[in-house]
Chains A and B, each alone.
Chain A
Amino acid sequence: QKEVEQDPGPLSVPEGAIVSLNCTYSNSAFQYFMWYRQYSRKGPELLMYTYSSGNKEDGRFTAQVDKSSKYISLFIRDSQPSDSATYLCASSTSGTYKYIFGTGTRLKVLA
């Protein structure tokens, strides 16, 4: 079992929809949770990071961590065709400097 699991998709939604992207993890020691966006033929781009449980909002993006269920979510409001990309979640334990990534979910936002 991988430490961080992510549905590969693809997930197709119409423009303007609210998108929910999810990951589960197995290591209860994980404390840092990150979301990256990766366009084709580019390196991943950091979107948001959270520490421990709770929500964090940045513009149209909201990251949510539920440590009790080991569930990580990213919500995208008012999705745009430019949001079409692969979204990667990642987790880490404090002080290990080692980051475990999910395999990514492909998102397509249809105009």
Chain B
Amino acid sequence: KAGVTQTPRYLIKTRGQQVTLSCSPISGHRSVSWYQQTPGQGLQFLFEYFSETQRNKGNFPGRFSGRQFSNSRSEMNVSTLELGDSALYLCASSPGDRTYEQYFGPGTRLTVT
């Protein structure tokens, strides 16, 4: 079974721009979660989607948004980028009934200059 894929793997953006990151979950997994990982804060939960519905979200500003499509693929968007948004963005997929089993993708490394 193919693992979680994330595109692009690396991205460099300028302050004020917006960015869209993509995640394809493991086949058959219906839950997708997004995390931001930084050296200082570690892994921080952004949001979780199941069957196109956001079921929970973390404490991030409204500039961070996401969505899930009917094929379970997910995207997250960050608008008006700030330098502090530079991080590794990780996507994890889970079987819908066992969301504690999270399988992570390799991440997208975003650098904001």
Contact = CB atoms under 8 A, between A and B. Distances in A.
Interface in A49-107: 49, 51, 88, 90, 92, 96-104
Given A44-B43, A103-B42, A104-B42, A97 B104 contact: no
Interface of A: 32, 34, 36, 42-46, 49, 51, 88, 90, 92, 96-104
8 contacts: A43-B90, A43-B92, A46-B103, A97-B31, A98-B45, A99-B100, A101-B43, A104-B42
B45 A43 contact: no
B102 interface: yes
Contacts, number: 57
Interface in B53-70: 55-56, 58
The binding surface of chain A is classed by DSSP as strand
Nearest to A86: B42
A88 B48 contact: no
Contacts of A51: 100
Nearest to B49: A97
B41 A43 contact: no
Contacts of A96: 56
B4 interface: yes
Contact of B41 (A42, A92, A98, A103): A103
